[in-house]
Amino acid sequence: MVLTFGWIALGGIASLTLMQTIIVNLHRRFLQSSVAASIDGAFKPQVAIILCVRGSDPRLRESLRAINQQNYDQFLIHIVADDPHDAAIETVRQEMEANPAFQPSLHYLSAPSKTRSLKCSAIIEAISNLEDSIEVIALIDSDVIPDPNWLTDLIMPLSDPTVGATTGNRWFASAAPNLASSVRQIWNGAAVAQMTCYEIPWGGSLAMKRTVLEACNLTAHWSDKFCEDTTLPTQLKAHQLRVVRVPNLILNNDESTTLKATFHWISRQLLTVRLYHPAWPLVVIHSLFSFGCLIACLVLIPTLFASGHALAGAILAIGLTFFQIINAILFAQIQKSNLAVIHQRLPDCQTKSSRPGIMAFLVTQALYPCAILKTIFTRVVSWRGISYSIKSRNQIEMVQYQPFPSTINRDVEHNELNSIN
């Protein structure tokens, strides 16, 4: 019986290896593709860039400057906070004083809704105050530092009438790497490939035409949602529209993190998929199957040796070793492809390849299924200091609103300010 289980485990890691190789190569080929065929050079709409802030991210000022320095003439910046005394607003005002050319429109939530996240409320608030001339809405996160061509590349595919929204993706490469940063980078690398295959958009770099927003009644759609991005594909498909991921739009984040913050961040990313995306069952199956195969191998290898099946135990051990080696190679492929895009966008970028150790891969493989299980049973989630209760039919309710604290424990700060989504 133990010999049979050994061969089953070997088949499991072989099938995992094949599946992950296919997904990574699909992502790599995607990054080498182009959306040029759908770009209309005469398409130069008036754009509103919406930036939602809560708490001052470590590099918010750099983000503000980069947003203001886009190589695109027709854009206006709208910044939304839930509290006029938020530390982020003080950073915004300092930048406005230092740079007269930076004059965004500032908005505040007078009464944050309890039926949706603060970010969804902020987006709805900004949209309700847009100028009549605005034709395209672009969303960006407060921890993103876009290159000068970000806006142009993001909105150009919208010239195709079948495109409802465009999006990019992110890459984490900490300037001060540690175990936690490596774990986040490894998990994000796998997530980026899955987001490409499962068509999961990223709200940190997202654009749509105003006509699409109105036709799909997205402000009403977001009125009871936890996030604005993961829910989009289903809504757009109902109107025969699609989300286009721009191949050359990978944006780097070099902030450090902690393991606790990384675990909570991963769990929250997964929660948005659980709540709104049809690929959630596939994500769960992949995670739990991967972990199951890993645990089975670790248990069966010594058991096979102890029961006299040394050859089978050795073969399974070799198979598990090759599985881990191939995982490292696949991560290196994802990293190489993403950095090629980043360096093409920013030739003077100092971001370099990293080589996470075996411990980082093992911790990631253990953390991922734990985050999946946490997500499955999550009933209350915290996001930037606000707790939300998950109700029936995936409805959410803000437990209690409070302004973002001006002083905050560093562990919590990493958790809450890692990324707005």
Quick one: 170 and 122 in the same domain? yes
Average pLDDT over residues 214-224: 95
Quick one: 122 and 222 in the same domain? yes
Between residues 26 and 415, the one the model is more confident about: 26
pLDDT attached to residue 421:
42
Q: What is the CA radius of gyration of the chain?
A: 22
pLDDT attached to residue 405:
84
% of the chain residues with pLDDT over 90: 78
Is 274 contained in some domain? Answer: no
In this prediction, residue 419 has a pLDDT band, given cuts at 50, 70 and 90, of: very low
Average pLDDT over residues 277-281: 94
- Domain extent, residue 19, equals 2-27+280-417
* Beta bridge mates, 81: 53, 108
% of the chain residues with pLDDT over 70: 94
Domain boundary among 241, 256, 271: 256
Helix (H) or strand (E) segment spanning residue 70 = none
In this prediction, residue 350 has a pLDDT band, given cuts at 50, 70 and 90, of: confident
Domain boundary among 256, 291, 321: 256
pLDDT attached to residue 416:
47
Quick one: 209 and 99 in the same domain? yes
pLDDT attached to residue 233:
93
Is 101 contained in some domain? Answer: yes
Average pLDDT over residues 195-217: 94
Number of domains within the chain: 2
Take residue 380 and report the two structure tokens written for it.
């209350």
Is 61 contained in some domain? Answer: yes
In this prediction, residue 1 has a pLDDT band, given cuts at 50, 70 and 90, of: confident
Average pLDDT over residues 219-236: 94
Query: Has residue 174 got a pLDDT over 90?
Result: no
CATH number of the CATH domain containing 96: 3.90.550.10
Query: Has residue 143 got a pLDDT over 50?
Result: yes
Quick one: 389 and 411 in the same domain? yes
In this prediction, residue 352 has a pLDDT band, given cuts at 50, 70 and 90, of: confident
Is 190 contained in some domain? Answer: no
Three-state SS at 112:
coil
In this prediction, residue 41 has a pLDDT band, given cuts at 50, 70 and 90, of: low
Q: Find the DSSP H helices in 238-377.
A: 259-276, 280-306, 310-345, 358-377
Quick one: 80 and 153 in the same domain? yes
Quick one: 20 and 77 in the same domain? no
Contact by Cβ (8 Å): 253, 350: no
pLDDT attached to residue 407:
52
Quick one: 96 and 152 in the same domain? yes
Can you state the angle between helices 179-198 and 259-276, rounded to 10 degrees? Answer: 10
In this prediction, residue 42 has a pLDDT band, given cuts at 50, 70 and 90, of: confident
pLDDT attached to residue 35:
57
Is 311 contained in some domain? Answer: yes
Quick one: 119 and 166 in the same domain? yes
Contact by Cβ (8 Å): 166, 157: yes
Burial per residue of 89-103, b for 16 or more beta-carbon CB atoms within 10 angstroms, e otherwise: bebbeebbeeeeebe
Quick one: 104 and 15 in the same domain? no
pLDDT tens sequence across 376-405 = 999 999 999 999 999 988 899 999 899 998
Quick one: 239 and 164 in the same domain? yes
Quick one: 216 and 311 in the same domain? no
Query: Has residue 71 got a pLDDT over 50?
Result: yes
Give the list of residues 6+ apart from residue 393 with CB closer than 8 angstroms, or none: none
Is 191 contained in some domain? Answer: no
Average pLDDT over residues 298-311: 92
Q: Find the DSSP H helices in 162-258.
A: 179-198, 210-215, 218-221, 232-237
Is 188 contained in some domain? Answer: no
pLDDT attached to residue 110:
82
Is 262 contained in some domain? Answer: no
pLDDT attached to residue 418:
47
Sheet-wide strand order for 163-172: 105-108, 75-81, 47-53, 136-140, 205-209, 163-172, 242-253
Quick one: 18 and 60 in the same domain? no
In this prediction, residue 34 has a pLDDT band, given cuts at 50, 70 and 90, of: low
